[in-house]
Amino acid sequence: MTRPMTMLAGVILILMAMASAAAMGAARTGTPAELLPLKVVGTWLLNSRNEPVRLRGVNCASLEWTSDGEGHIVETVRVAIDDWKVNHIRLPLSQDRWFGKAPEQSDEGKAYRALVDDIVQLCASKGVYIMLELHWSNVGEWGQNIGQHSMPDENSLAFWKDLAPIYANHPAVIYDLYNEPHDVSWDIWLNGGEVTDRPNRRGQMPKTFKAVGMQQLLDAVRAAGARNLIVAGGLDWAYDFSGILEGRRLKDPDGNGVIYANHCYNNKNQAVETWIANMEKAAQTLPIIISEFGGAYVSPGAETDRRGMRRGGFGRRDDGDWLMRVLQAIEDHNWSYTAWDLHPAAGPTLISDWNYTPSPYYGAYVKQMLAGTFHYTPPAATETPADAANN
């Protein structure tokens, strides 16, 4: 390439980067912006102008376990946008409550669906994307076993057939097919089949049911005429990409593509370096998002509120600097992410109370990430006497 052509290419790249930064900045600050539909091209997430987009947001839970969002959900989303400066929201939903099948409902789900719509319109008006995510299902029995299960069921299919056309091709709306599949084979994950569920709530008995595969859920969305971006989590509670990398990618010839989700918590007995290596491997061939993560970090010498940590869902001790290394890796790699959760009782909690005070062990750091000010440098390894003797 000649020098003038090289200079021209450099100018074009700079202009594209400036345009992308401006578009992302408008959404991050919560100002009304023209939302452009998202699509996957190779491993990139782009808008319809072919500008790269990085999703940076938080989960806003409660509509999976209540039909009214505990009276806080709309304000929670507003605070996430206006104060935390997200450019997207992940909204967990319940298939039973969507159809009005939960015990507290008597209106066939009309109020619940209206509340979801209010949130969608709020996000769109603020220039923020919203991921509608099927979080709780029922192993095929309406109004029973409402909770988190190993795989979607035939009622999950009914959920997507009903919801998908409502927001078909809405530029703000992303469809997240099912939360955290687990304890099944990769063939079941892809194509469905009979499974015996391992319940995740006390008092629930194991149930054998017909699981619906991820491909069938995606096909139902596309059959409704919805080309919206799709999110799909792998197995091991959306931690494992291996089966997808080995050839079980979802087929989406008629849509805007699929981005694959990872959920990262410090409960896998793996070093952060292992998680980073696995993510880097996946990102070579897959578009990815860390759509849940969380933990706790207490800086050396700081006083620890053990009771507050337990109340916030952080367990009985902090995770060393595990959380900080994860956050820095997300920033270093420019990965899309959605932190769990902007609720004071859905641990790990980003907030300590309904005044939306950032939790000191976690939320404060995520808020820094969203503001673009987070940075963590791991402490240098301390040489032990044994190390010194061997040098």
| Extents of the domains making up the chain | 53-380
pLDDT for residue 245: 98
DSSP string, 296-348: ----TT----HHHHHHTT--SS--TTHHHHHHHHHHHHT-EEEES-SSTTSSS
pLDDT tens for each residue of 139-159: 999 999 999 999 999 999 999
Cα gap 272→218, rounded to integer Å = 32
Cα gap 384→263, rounded to integer Å = 35
Asked whether the beta carbons of 105 and 77 are under 8 A apart, the reply is no
pLDDT for residue 205: 78
In the predicted model, residues of the chain with pLDDT beneath 50 are 1-32, 316, 383-391
**Interacting residues of 360 by C-beta distance below 8 A, sequence separation 6+:** 305, 352
Q: Taking the C-alpha atoms of 296, 298, 299 and 302 in order, what is their torsion angle to the nearest 10 degrees?
A: 160
Asked whether the beta carbons of 69 and 59 are under 8 A apart, the reply is no
CB-based burial label for 199 (10 Å; 0-12, 13-18, 19+): middle
Whether CATH 3.40.630.30 fits 53-380: no
pLDDT tens for each residue of 251-268: 999 999 999 999 999 999
**Interacting residues of 24 by C-beta distance below 8 A, sequence separation 6+:** 53, 54, 87
First to last CA, the chain: 50
Cα gap 337→8, rounded to integer Å = 33
pLDDT for residue 318: 58
| DSSP label of 129 | E
pLDDT for residue 306: 60
pLDDT for residue 32: 46
Is residue 136 classed as helix, strand or coil in its secondary structure? strand
pLDDT for residue 178: 98
pLDDT for residue 171: 97
Cα gap 136→342, rounded to integer Å = 18
